[in-house]
Copies of this chain bind each other. A is one copy, B any other.
Amino acid sequence: MKKYFSILYRSAAENFLAGLKPENRHAKKAAKIFLLQTALMSSRTRVTIRDIAREAGVSTATVSRVMNNPDTVSRRTLETVNAVIARHGYLSDGIAVSLALARTLTIGVVIPTITNSIYAASTQAIQGAARAAGYTVLLGVSEFSPTTEDQLIRQLLKRRVDGLILTGVERSSEIYESIGAARIPFVVTWKQADAAAGMASVSFDNYQGARLAMSHLVELGHRRIGLVCGRSKLNDRARERRRAYQDVMREIGTDVRHDWVHEADFDHAEGRRAMQKLLAAPSRPTAVFCANDIQAIGALFECQEQGIEVPGQISIVGFDDVPAAQYVRPQLTTIRVPAQAMGEIAAKRLLEAIDRRGEPVGQTLPVELVVRGTTRQAQD
């Protein structure tokens, strides 16, 4: 069947060629191109709007109207065209539409990792909100590398996403310039942006959250408190949390010993290692604030491995409230972060901004201390 058509088309073109006056160079060229096209036609099944138009006996403009402004088309035409569309299962080509409209109905999302379920939760929420509005998500995972993140964002801009949702505010100014040049709105999540910087964030307050965790320990009578957190050089969320730790320690008048503070990557092994060092410190802390649950769980494991009772001998507070925080025994005391709400709201704010071609409006969401089983009154 397909072959048959191919032959049909080809011979039509050849006839056309043969019938030409030799001097008619331009037409000859056109015919050649026609031949090329029809040769391709046999391999490409893709139905275009012109095919539909031809078969329905209308112009492409009308087909387009049928699909996008049906009420500007007469009932009769509407039916005819829709029938042809249905017969072929025709779907308009999103790429061509994007080019013509200068809108891709796509938003870009860049996160550091997806395997930490807390990011998965916010990403899933973004996804849901985007889909509801007819948008698709282009996902980039930076694996905590600023260079990778830059590349990803550039790639997304090249794909002309209509908007961006980023994690944290810290990145090269060139990238911010590129985003600016693309003239698309973006919102930052997981970290509040300085209002001054003129960017919108939908986030919670990392600093206050961390203070909440620290205050809890302090109220339980802990004074010698250790810290495990992410790489504050690469990660502005970790930096905020660390700052809160340091402030609270200063306020309670405890000198922070440098072997009480450990920065580590986001996995359990690293959390364990950090806890090892804390336990080996000459003046062992009575409590540890782990600036994320992944590390907190690793730390908890290390204690259990070494036979150190949690919370009997050492208290642990995490941050994030990942689902796993409830599975470990004892269950982890932690700071609950509104990951899902944040994702959903961020997406909504972004889509609004895209709609009205304005700046997205930011928002700060509350965090909450969830007291479970890994913290107890200091015995010391």
Contacts and interface: CB of A to CB of B under 8 A. Distances in A.
Interface of A: 44-46, 89, 91-96, 98-99, 104, 106, 113-115, 117, 120-121, 123-124, 127-128, 131, 136-141, 143, 148, 152, 154-160, 177-178, 181-183, 268, 297, 301, 323-324, 326-329
Contact of A46 (B124, B159, B183, B323): B183
B141 A124 contact: yes
A181 B45 contact: yes
A141 B124 CA distance: 7
23 contacts: A46-B182, A91-B157, A91-B178, A92-B158, A93-B158, A95-B99, A95-B159, A114-B120, A114-B123, A114-B124, A115-B117, A120-B120, A127-B139, A127-B140, A127-B141, A131-B152, A136-B140, A138-B138, A138-B139, A268-B323, A268-B327, A301-B327, A324-B324
Contacts of A124: 113-115, 141
Contacts of A94: 158-160
Contacts of A115: 117, 120-121, 124, 323
Contacts of A45: 181, 183
Nearest to A104: B95
Contacts of A123: 114
Nearest to A118: B115
Contacts of A128: 141, 143
A301 B325 CA distance: 13
Contacts of A120: 114-115, 117, 120
Contacts of A138: 136-139
From A93, A115, A158, name the one whose CB has the most chain B CB atoms within 10 angstroms: A115
Contacts of A160: 93-95
A327 B328 CA distance: 5
The 4 closest A-B pairs by CB, nearest first: A94-B158, A329-B329, A94-B159, A139-B139
Contacts of A136: 138, 140, 155-156, 159
A33 to B, nearest CB: 15
Contacts of A139: 127, 137-139
Contacts of A117: 115, 117, 120
Contacts of A178: 89, 91
A89 B181 contact: yes
A91 B329 contact: no
